[in-house]
A and B are shown apart, each in its own frame.
Chain A
């Protein structure tokens, strides 16, 4: 059997962020960049080098960065601010809530180093609660693209399709880059990347690739598994999820995030509102912190690989 998707190689989604931001910088003079140190580590450095007059270094002071972004946005500029998600979403939560969301300002916040695949830096730097906090903010859009190519498209969509605050989540470690560059990115519209009638996995971020691998392996066992990429967590694709609920006996969700409050919760919220709800099996971090290790070791230890998704699907089919 032909693989459903083939990887063009490994590429960190932060590379997609860096490339996408530079392209947007060329197209839109209103885009300004804000850096809180670690600019190379989060993919802000290319923009800073290409547009030094539109890049402002603000140091390790993330709360201030959000307020400065609000001030720039009020004056008609489009600020893009990124640092590790643990800082950009969590240290700054009150600033995001009031200065950005209550004022409903078009600002793009990058949440870098998302998930446990951050690896050896350990628990302090692995953002595993950011989706939960960002998605309950009124006016906020939450994007979580699945590979580097899609991250560049997500950034473009955040610029062109959004008018309010956007949180864009991406990762540090190289992961397979596989989505076709011409696959349209519509904010709020999930993507059925593979069709099947027996089971359904809805995933976000790198776990979309794992879901595709799981689906491929299940196909060898005559289990046809639909794979949905929910690159937008807010607004969630209610229509698509309701369709899945009507068609499948259960749903499996997968994310590099706490099981509480993230993609799985967002999907379950839709499912419980459907006329005939089905069980939702949520794969994610089990209410605990991560630790140091290689990304592969950590994904294996915390149950976030294709193998774990296959087990979840087979268990539900029994």
Chain B
């Protein structure tokens, strides 16, 4: 447990360092999801960093490509590539594109993505493929709560339930915020639990910034239910840096040099 908490802290630190070095990017969501990424990559998912395309690996699809910094920092800590490379984020020639781009050859990246609303459909395809091949790996898709405003998400949700894809899990980063402000003000996606259930999914809710709560939630999620599962993970945008927690203005902004010092000092 403490190891995982330390991992989340390390990931947050590298998220801040890489974003500050890049000079632009999405700080709030990346920090908010650090605990989810820590538990996925250091407790839940099967993978081999030296063999990124290992057939038996669990697949993680990041549909909200804009929080790529947290994925990159996690992959580096998981051993897919050297941590030093994190400081190339968003720079010309980097394998760490502003939104994930497989064409640049970063190991551990399953999908080029960033146009919202597409990743869940891709996850459905991967889960169908796993069933066709009688493979027992899992497919995890990370979506945002603002992203659920995209109609194609619900097309994908319908199809996953129709095909009874119980090897598919979507984790919704439910921070209640998006670029323009509160999700309920921009376009209310609630009631989320009831919506996913009505679409034929098993739904669980948890505190997405609590390692113990996340651990319990995932253990329950892997028990087959004959249908796909949705984890509504309540997170705080900017989690870990008290001065920006819950501030939607930090959705799409990177810390400057001065802010970086202050943010790193606040990280605990």
Contact = CB atoms under 8 A, between A and B. Distances in A.
A294 interface: no
Contact of A71 (B115, B121, B133, B155): B121
Interface in B80-137: 101-103, 110-115, 117-130, 132-133
Contacts of B152: 61, 63-64, 67, 95
Contacts of A32: 132
Best-surrounded residue of A32, A59, A64, A99 (most CB of chain B within 10 A)? A64
A99 B163 contact: no
Contacts, number: 105
A66 interface: yes
Nearest to B127: A71
A77 B129 contact: yes
Contacts of B217: none
B158 A61 contact: yes
A66 B264 CA distance: 42
B159 A99 contact: no
B115 A98 contact: yes
A72 B139 CA distance: 12
B148 to A, nearest CB: 14
B212 to A, nearest CB: 32
A59 B121 contact: no
A283 B101 CA distance: 39
B142 interface: no
Contact of B121 (A64, A73, A75, A103): A64
Instruction: Using C-beta atoms within 8 Å of the partner chain, give the interface range for chain B.
Output: 20 to 34
Contacts of A63: 117-118, 121, 151-152, 155
B64 interface: no
Nearest to A61: B155
Nearest to B120: A67
Given A64-B152, A71-B128, A99 B118 contact: yes
B115 A94 contact: yes
Interface string A59-82: 101011111111111111101000
A66 B121 contact: yes
B156 interface: yes
Nearest to B122: A71
Interface residues of A, number: 31
Contacts of B110: 74
B125 A72 contact: yes
B122 A56 contact: no
Label chain B's interface by main secondary structure: helix
B111 A103 contact: yes
Contacts of A71: 121-129
Nearest to A63: B152
Contact of B118 (A73, A75, A95, A104): A95
Given A74-B110, A102-B103, A68 B124 contact: yes
A133 interface: no
B124 A64 contact: yes
A246 interface: no
A58 interface: yes
A65 B125 CA distance: 9
Contacts of B123: 71
A175 B39 CA distance: 60
Contacts of A66: 121
Contacts of B132: 32, 53-54, 77
Nearest to A97: B115
A56 B156 CA distance: 13
A58 B159 contact: yes
Contacts of A56: 128, 163
Contacts of A53: 132
A7 to B, nearest CB: 41
B131 to A, nearest CB: 10
Interface of A: 32, 53-54, 56, 58-59, 61, 63-77, 79, 94-95, 97-99, 102-104
Shortest beta-carbon contacts, A-B, top 9: A71-B125, A67-B121, A75-B129, A64-B155, A61-B155, A68-B125, A71-B126, A71-B122, A63-B152
Interface of B: 101-103, 110-115, 117-130, 132-133, 151-152, 155-156, 158-159, 162-163
14 contacts: A56-B163, A59-B162, A61-B155, A61-B159, A64-B152, A66-B121, A67-B124, A68-B124, A71-B127, A74-B126, A77-B129, A94-B118, A103-B111, A104-B103
Given A59-B162, A74-B122, 19 more contacts: A53-B132, A56-B128, A61-B152, A61-B158, A63-B121, A63-B151, A64-B156, A67-B119, A67-B122, A68-B125, A71-B122, A71-B129, A72-B128, A74-B125, A75-B126, A75-B129, A95-B115, A103-B102, A103-B111
